[in-house]
Amino acid sequence: MPAGISLLWICAMIPYVITLEFKHHSAKDLESFLQRVHTSWPSITNLYSIGKSIEGVDLWVLAIGKDPKVHTVGTPEVKYIGNIHGDELVGREMLLHLIEHLVENYGKDPTITKIINSTRIHIMPSVNPDGYAMTDLENQCLSSSTGRYNKAGSDLNRNFPDYLQENKLPLQPETEAVINWILNETFVLSLSLHGGALVASYPYDNFKGDVNKQGYSKCPDDDVFIHLAKNFSYNHAGMFYGDECEGIPTFTDGITNGADWYPFEGGMQDFNYLVGQCFELTIELSCCKNPAASELETFWNESHNSLLSFFQLVHLGVKGQVLYSDGKPIENATVKVQGRDNINPFRTNQKGEYYRLLLPGNYTLEVTVPKGHSQSVKVEVFDKEPNLSALVVNFNFSITDGPSTTETYQGSNIAGIVEQNIILLIFSVLFSFIHF
């Protein structure tokens, strides 16, 4: 056999393996890695860009899932974002290694296979490629640099519309792309990876209406956020100690309420929660923002269990569809959990779906369709064996409850409440990975 043909034959026989080096990847390296992954695993990945930076660099996202191109009813969406501060480099590299780990273990590792089959995962290694390009990779552990900002000098994690206080900063293209992304997908859970400390931070980052307030800014889902944050910190090799970085306050359990650490406005995590109905944590992964490439493998060893186990928390609580009796979905129905006074109530998407992260316990869900008719249902969320699905609670409304034939109900907000008082004994998930 001629040498050329023999080489081709050997290559065809070797399963495709991408070995990603532990180094800092430029925008070009990052793009070519994502393209290679997509080419090698086309059935479980989808590579797309949500827009461009000021310098015209694509904001790449790799989606991973059984059906990676489209949202499927009942499949929750998770996103991980890195590098919003361009000089915080560890998260960017960890996300590339996470992608490699997920695709290479699909079909081999049962847990990873289950995660990918039950969840649509979106990974954006860098939302601030221009800041990354301005970062000095040779001069390690600087406390501040121009690379933190985008090309226009804007801190993207101070640039989001703030529903607790007004944010008048001009919207940057990177921020606008992320906002549109959040509003167009049904994200349930999210991580934003940073550097400069070692802690899992959760909403709120700000206070409602009072710029000078200090201390803990508690949101209605504080219990869920604490659970999410502890899951991350206790699966990490050192975060839960809470005192890893010099000059940074000690964090009990390696977690903190954002405002309790320091309040600020325009943050991405408050926007995700208040507008996107998505529970996002801000994860500080490394005391040094831009460590040497030789340290990246250690960071991966320390953090990959946290990054992997966090995916499964998207299946906490309750999910379902709000439908008319003829099967048509009801968009924009509000889904409230009694006792949780969300500033913007959670609403169903175009397919009538809702996802509501909740810890095990008893809850009353109240669903109100746009014309005002409501139903309330009591549910019990159990802590049981992991099955990678939230408790499914669907709501069916009579066609006469809908907008087309509801003149009778116009202006009637709660007159039609139906108390079904059903205790739904279906199991939900609280994962056994948690050490606390």
What six digits make up the tokens of 37? 């992954």
**Residue (of 159, 163, 238) closest to 197 by Cα position:** 238
Identify whether 284 is a catalytic site residue. yes
C-alpha R_g of the chain: 23
Per-residue mark of binding to Zn ion, 83-122 (x: CB under 5 A): --x--x----------------------------------
Smallest distance from Zn ion to CB 196, Å: 6
Which CB atom, from 65 or from 86, has the smaller least distance to Zn ion? 86
Smallest distance from Zn ion to CB 144, Å: 11
Measure the CA–CA gap between 8 and 182, rounded to whole angstroms: 44
For the chain, the farthest-separated pair of C-alpha atoms sits apart, in whole angstroms, at 82
Q: Tell how far CA 310 is from the center of its chain.
A: 10
Smallest distance from Zn ion to CB 289, Å: 8
Among 38, 97, 194, 336, binds Zn ion (CB under 5 A): 194
Burial of 109 (0-12, 13-18, 19+ CB in 10 A): middle
Which CB atom, from 88 or from 401, has the smaller least distance to Zn ion? 88
Which single residue brings its beta carbon nearest to Zn ion? Answer: 194
- Which member of 265, 284, 302, 353 is catalytic? 284
Which CB atom, from 261 or from 427, has the smaller least distance to Zn ion? 261
User: E strands, 137-211, where?
Assistant: 187-194, 197-202
Which CB atom, from 178 or from 333, has the smaller least distance to Zn ion? 178
What six digits make up the tokens of 375? 């139903």
Which CB atom, from 58 or from 155, has the smaller least distance to Zn ion? 155
Part of the chain binding Zn ion (CB under 5 A), chosen from 29-37, 190-198, 379-387, 420-428: 190-198
The kind and range of the H/E element at 131 are helix 129-133
Smallest distance from Zn ion to CB 87, Å: 8
**Residue (of 227, 379, 282, 290) closest to 92 by Cα position:** 290
Asked if 303 and 285 count as a contact pair (C-beta separation under 8 A), the reply is yes
Smallest distance from Zn ion to CB 195, Å: 6
Point out which residues bind Zn ion (CB under 5 A).
Answer: 85, 88, 194
Question: Which residues have a catalytic role annotated?
Answer: 284
